[in-house]
Chains A and B, each alone.
Chain A
Amino acid sequence: MLPGVIGILQATEAIKLILGQGEPLIGRLLTFDALESNFRVLRVGRDKECPACSESASLDEAKVREMDYQVSCLLSIAGD
């Protein structure tokens, strides 16, 4: 049952993004504990030193294509 709950929450978020309605879960992590019947929302923030999305990151299409994610997903901020 749990995948149904989570999958439908994902579908709901996608619909909200398409319609431009409401507050999507950007910067918020929704957790659902099925045994405790508890929803929680945690605020999550950007990492100023993120190797993927920060100002100083140098990620581009070529780099994604070159990486071997099965071997290592590590990404350094400097570029190579």
Chain B
Amino acid sequence: MGDYIVIIMGSIFINNIILAQYLGACPFVGTSKKMETATGMAGAVVFVLTLAGVITWVINTYFLVQLNIEFLRTIAFIMVIASLVQFVEMFLKKSIPALYAGLGIFLPLITTNCAVMGVTLLNVQDELSFVAAVITSIAYALGFGLALILFAGLRERIDLGRVPGPLKETSIGLVTAGMLAMAFMGFRGMV
């Protein structure tokens, strides 16, 4: 049990997928202009990453390792995740229209999200058990959501301030992201 808490804390804060591992920077900048968009994106990532964590673990353990073709891991994962997102989108549209309407355009966006790819690959690299892989995936997704929502809140406030012309919008956003990443470095060595 203690191990899992370490995994959760580690994945959310210490090895935060965005601010410590620098994965998923595109949606981090792209969908953080408004709090509403940011929360939508965070929800979608939690949803997809959990599913991707499960299915890629299965593919890796029962196919790639068994057949001794681990070098195909990247290409296989891309294919599986892309198909998965498509499938989930269709499934939700039919079965849970409310959730589909809530996640909206963010589901297809995640197809190209390197954070999802990165987490699944990290899971394999660390040779985690099934349960540990699932928990890690959820925790990384929560970390992603935390960073995104924090960042969106900051950007909304910055928008109200007087920013020099050349630094407007994304530029000041990246500077802020850098400082946020430094702040997260403070978690290093906690576990």
Q: Do A and B bind each other?
A: no
Which A residues contact B (CB, under 8 angstroms)?
none
Which B residues contact A (CB, under 8 angstroms)?
none
